[in-house]
Structure 1
């Protein structure tokens, strides 16, 4: 997915807005699915995604 930069005063047509919303929704679903895989892998290793190492 590429990045889209909007400048001040830029507006989207309804068609473009709906297409962008659909694209972002699909990307969000992909990322959520990937996060489930990562969480499952971490739990298998006995780790926690919130655990941080102290120096």
Structure 2
């Protein structure tokens, strides 16, 4: 995970609180993204498998 730049002048307590808030928001967004992906998967039409042609002589 990359480091997040914080504004100068914030105390360590404020930096930790901001990191905690950002982590919680990231979890919410990832959860929402999973829901969207699942919805899209349901809405996508299923691809029909092509029937294999038998190669035969005669």
Q: Which runs of 5+ in 2 are unaligned?
A: 1-6, 46-58
**9, 27, 30: which is aligned to 1:29?**
27
Higher relative contact order (CA 8 A, sep 6+): 2
Supply the distance in 2 between the matched residues of 1:41 and 1:11 (Cα, whole angstroms): 43
RMSD: 1.5
Report the TM-score when normalising by structure 2: 0.62
Structure-2 separation of matches of 1:18 and 1:37: 29
Q: Which residue of 1 aligns with 2:54?
A: none
Higher Cα Rg, which structure: 2
- Runs of 4+ aligned residues of structure 1 deviating over 4 Å after TM superposition are none
Unaligned runs of 5+ in 1: 1-5, 48-55
| CA displacement at 1:11 relative to structure 2 | 2.0
**Counterparts in 2 of 1:36-51, with a 5 A limit?**
36-46=34-44
